[in-house]
Amino acid sequence: MANNFSPDSEPTARTLLRRVLDTADSCTPQRRRSDRISAQRTLLETPSSRRRSIQTKVTARQRSHGARSTGRLAHGQAGGQLEEQTPRTLLKNILLTAPESSIVMPQSVVKPAPAPQVVQPSRRKSSQSSLELQLPELEPPPTLAPVLLGSGRRKQKLRLSVFQKEVEWGPQGLPVSQEPPGNPDASSLTSSLNLTFATPLQPHSVRKPGLARRPPTRRAIDVGALLQDLQNNSLASTPLVDNLRAPVATLPTDIVLEDTQPFSQPLVGHSPNVHYSLPHPYPGPEDAEGTVHHRTQGSIPELQNHKLQPEPADPLEMTEAEGSKRAMEAKNPEESSGDEDISDRPGKRPSVRRSQRTVEPEEPKRSSKDEDISDRLGKRPSVERSRRAVEPEEPERSSEDEDISDRPASSELASNVPEFLQAKQLDQFLEPAPSSGATVLSSEPQEPVLARTHPRPRTAVPRPRQDPHKGGLNHYTKLFSFYAKMPMERKALEMVEKCLDKYLQHLCNDLEVFAAHAGRKTVKPEDLELLMRRQGLVTDQVSLHVLVERHLPLEYRQLIIPCAFSGNSVFPAQ
């Protein structure tokens, strides 16, 4: 028993305790004795039961006193009645010490500092009683004891609590920093007990850590933050894209924003594709071509400028002027020539404007693109021709603009030559780069002149008739120039168009004959295959599917070549 009795810190407590002792003794003796006989556990239980009801310190203390008294009594009984008196005094002392010491440290006085554990085992018997005593001492952390006892496992918990207390006392008797060896859990428990003075659930939580969860409020906050960030990013991205005038600045931001995408360039190109001109990164693949370095760089800013300008709905003249200015800023000597061309055509602009105004907003871009195309022509070996073509082609260009504007379908179809180009508009612009500019120019020598001179309504009339047809043929003429891999004359390209026209007529006739031969009125793929066989394209060695795989893109290949899919299904169905 602790012999170190610190001076009273709470005289009121002492008085209360004494009173309690006086009162408690009268009540408890029988129980205590019975408990003692039965087991110490019961002894523990009784105080525990008492503890449960405890809510006030006083009551707790009373019962603690009672428990202590029982402990004392047990001690006393073990030792003799003589001890009862001493236990009381001891109890009093203990009680006095208990309030002094913090709840966390009840044993500082109870147990001697040295070897508390040694004392504990030695005091097992007495320790239990002492524990009992100490348990009530610990009751001042009222929540713990009742909570501990509240569970069904009174005995175990009590023992655990006792154990914990033992452990607690160990560190508590010693400096708090020290931990009882071999009982890290207990220490943790005790620490938890000590710490969780206010939360009775802690012991449960300690045993079942899964029960204690932090509120998920953080998640909501995070999501909101994410959404806000996304919005901010989206908001930031659009203005960034708008400011194509500073393409370099937009490049990293666009890339950063669209980091998730594997290729930032195509995204950047596609996302604003509808409304804005191509972003700066596109010149990259163009440069890769190798042949259109300066031109593309110069042309693309022009394109961008041209595109940007119509969007704010600036007058075309202004746009052109600005475009010329910007082209000048690009500081390309070649562009300067292009700028001259641009500036030289104020008179011819009316045709362009006409076409532009009459056509969709995208098409003025195409007109500008035509200029770029013409500029690129300069790079070709036929530089002189292109140069001359640039200037004399102004009338043709205007017509080209009309034609180009007139072919909504051809614009889409223009994705011919460069395979690596992805953007639709880019394809339109850049595919002609090899020589399509020349093809475009040469394709309509006559109509452009006439069309240019005509006023707007007149240009609108012939469009639906010839231009789509020409546009479709242009598609193939571009392919021709690509396949030839050599520079071509405009007249040669015109010739190609005529040949193609003739060929298509023959084709239709042949198909009709074949279908009629098969007794059908619908031309089927079998007829086509027969036609190709007759032409010598399809042989026993080279089948139609081989040709399809060679020359057609994947989407069309899927249409033609039957392929087996999961679920025992074949598409296209045969």
Interaction residues for another protein, span 515-554 (CB under 8 A)? 515, 521-525, 527-529, 531-532, 534-537, 544, 547-548, 551-554
Kindly write out the interface string for residues 405-444 of this chain, putting x where it contacts another protein by CB under 8 A and - elsewhere: ----xx-xx-xx--x--x-x--x-----------------
Q: Does 259 bind another protein (CB under 8 A)?
A: no
Whole-number minimum distance, CB 542 to another protein, in Å?
11
Q: Does 241 bind another protein (CB under 8 A)?
A: no
Is the Cβ–Cβ distance between 202 and 192 less than 8 Å? Answer: yes
Whole-number minimum distance, CB 461 to another protein, in Å?
18
Of the candidates 328, 449, 500, 518, which one interacts with another protein according to CB under 8 A? 500
The span from the CA of 44 to the CA of 136, in Å, is 10
Q: Which is nearer to another protein, 32 or 365 (CB)?
A: 365
Q: Which is nearer to another protein, 68 or 407 (CB)?
A: 407
Whole-number minimum distance, CB 416 to another protein, in Å?
6
Whole-number minimum distance, CB 570 to another protein, in Å?
8
Q: Which is nearer to another protein, 195 or 409 (CB)?
A: 409
Give the Cα-Cα-Cα angle 208, 63, 35 (nearest 5 degrees): 85
Q: Which is nearer to another protein, 193 or 530 (CB)?
A: 530
Site for another protein in 316-355 (CB under 8 A): none
Cα separations (Å) of 17 from 7, 56, 129?
15, 13, 18
Q: DSSP state, 176?
A: T
Q: Which is nearer to another protein, 105 or 493 (CB)?
A: 493
Of the candidates 229, 291, 483, 517, which one interacts with another protein according to CB under 8 A? 483
Of the candidates 242, 499, 518, 545, which one interacts with another protein according to CB under 8 A? 499
The span from the CA of 97 to the CA of 173, in Å, is 13
Please give the helix or strand (H or E) that residue 304 lies within, else none.
helix 293-308
Cα separations (Å) of 226 from 216, 229, 231, 267, 272?
16, 5, 8, 22, 24
Instruction: Return the CA Rg of the chain.
Output: 48
Is the Cβ–Cβ distance between 523 and 508 less than 8 Å? Answer: no
The 3-state DSSP class for residue 213 equals coil
Whole-number minimum distance, CB 407 to another protein, in Å?
9
Kindly write out the interface string for residues 260-279 of this chain, putting x where it contacts another protein by CB under 8 A and - elsewhere: -x-x--xx--x---------
Residues 6+ positions from 322 with CB-CB distance below 8 Å: 305, 309, 314
Residues paired with residue 569 on neighbouring β-strands, in sequence order: 565
Of the candidates 181, 213, 565, 568, which one interacts with another protein according to CB under 8 A? 565
Closest CA to 406 of 366, 347, 348, 346: 366
Residues paired with residue 565 on neighbouring β-strands, in sequence order: 569
Whole-number minimum distance, CB 566 to another protein, in Å?
7
The span from the CA of 181 to the CA of 15, in Å, is 39
Q: Which is nearer to another protein, 391 or 412 (CB)?
A: 412
